Amino acid sequence: MIPRPDVVDYFSTTVHENNEWSPQARRHEARQQGSETVPQRDILVIIPTYNEAENVETAIQRVLAVLPDVDIMIVDDGSPDGTGEIVRRISANDDRVSLMERTGKRGLGPAYLDGFAHGMASGHTLLIEMDADGSHPASALPAMLAAIRSADSVGGVIGSRWVTGGAVVDWPKSRRLISRGGSTYARVMLGLKVRDVTAGFRVYKASALQAIELETVQSQGYCFQIDMTRRMAANGFGLVEVPITFKDRVAGTSKMSKAIVVEAMLRVTIWGFERLVGKERGRRESRDAKRVVEQPSAVSYEKHEGWS
């Protein structure tokens, strides 16, 4: 990969238009060097799909209308409704759009992991997660990108429904309850500050993803988002929440299932107890250490015993 200087604003594709480190220049240099993974643009938008034939084209158009200089990769799990065919047709005429085809429905988590792996291998520095069904407003992307560029300490940005200014439109009460309740449960159990823990509209720095051991992620459904949130926090990366208005899908059907909710509940409960046990162990160890410090004579006596 081509080394880049430590400029903070290296995400901007316009500022560095005439600079040797512009994405265009990097692409050119990589091609000249015969690199197999020619970086296209700095940002990769990853959209997982399963039976989104009615939505996928609009989703792509909406992103490109707001951010014309990004790559978009649709990760499709062999949708029987022909989603993949539609994407193949679009990508034939637009080099910003690509299709990753997987065989059989294998879950949202693994789809994102494959997307991340591809994005990082191809030199993208920012990776965006977004649904295909129109629930995530592309219009929020500039604010989300500004947030991720705002500080080196920020590893990810979440398009959030549950912060001030955020909203959910048209969702039945039951879905609201599951989402809000799940978020609150995960936040409390895992000691997180993030309000919308299960949100699927996110931007990550590739450098942060590289640091959080993605190869050990096993979560399949929405639990994947919770898992990512706790890993980012545990590794000291800042997560910024940008308020969004989330709209229910107008076409196609949700892939939300009971199994997905159960997976999230179970994993969060296990992680929560692991965290509590770890905390208790830490407390006990520091209490024991304190006791040793408070009883210097006992310590020196024991030491003395050992020496003689």
Binding stretches for Mg ion (CB under 5 A) = 131, 133, 135
Q: Tokens 């200089």 identify what position?
A: 69
User: Who contacts 205 (Cβ-Cβ below 8 Å, separation ≥6)?
Assistant: 125, 126, 148, 154, 155, 156
Q: Does 259 bind ligand GDP (CB under 6 A)?
A: no
Stretch that binds ligand GDP, among 47-55, 117-125, 204-212, 227-235 (CB under 6 A): 47-55
Please choose which of ligand GDP, Mg ion, none residue 151 contacts, taking the beta carbon within 5 to 8 angstroms, the exact cut-off set by kind. none
Report H helices in the chain: 23-32, 56-66, 83-93, 108-121, 141-149, 173-190, 206-211, 223-234, 258-294, 296-307
Please choose which of ligand GDP, Mg ion, none residue 107 contacts, taking the beta carbon within 5 to 8 angstroms, the exact cut-off set by kind. ligand GDP
DSSP 152: T
Please choose which of Mg ion, ligand GDP, none residue 275 contacts, taking the beta carbon within 5 to 8 angstroms, the exact cut-off set by kind. none
Q: Does 263 bind ligand GDP (CB under 6 A)?
A: no
Q: Which is nearer to ligand GDP, 154 or 228 (CB)?
A: 228
| Distance, CA of 77 to CA of 283 (rounded, Å) | 46
Phi and psi at residue 169, to the nearest 5°:
-115, 135
| Distance, CA of 149 to CA of 155 (rounded, Å) | 9
Say how many residues make up the chain.
Answer: 308
User: What is the footprint of ligand GDP within residues 180-239 (CB under 6 A)?
Assistant: 200
Q: Does 132 bind ligand GDP (CB under 6 A)?
A: yes
Q: How many chain residues bind ligand GDP (CB under 6 A)?
A: 21
User: What is the footprint of ligand GDP within residues 89-118 (CB under 6 A)?
Assistant: 105-108, 111
Among 234, 256, 262, 276, binds ligand GDP (CB under 6 A): 256
| Distance, CA of 24 to CA of 140 (rounded, Å) | 25
Q: Does 135 bind ligand GDP (CB under 6 A)?
A: yes
User: What is the footprint of ligand GDP within residues 232-251 (CB under 6 A)?
Assistant: 249
Q: Does 129 bind ligand GDP (CB under 6 A)?
A: no
Q: Which is nearer to ligand GDP, 70 or 130 (CB)?
A: 130
Among 50, 116, 162, 201, binds ligand GDP (CB under 6 A): 50
Instruction: Provide the phi-psi class of 104: left if phi over 0, else alpha when psi is between -120 and 50, else beta.
Output: left
Among 19, 210, 235, 254, binds ligand GDP (CB under 6 A): 254
Judge whether 239 and 157 are in contact, CB under 8 Å.
yes
What is the nearest approach in angstroms of ligand GDP to the Cβ of residue 294? 54
Residue nearest to ligand GDP (CB): 254
Specify the 3-state DSSP secondary structure of 192.
coil
| Distance, CA of 120 to CA of 112 (rounded, Å) | 12
Contact residues for ligand GDP (CB under 6 A)? 48-50, 52, 75-77, 105-108, 111, 131-133, 135, 200, 249, 254-256
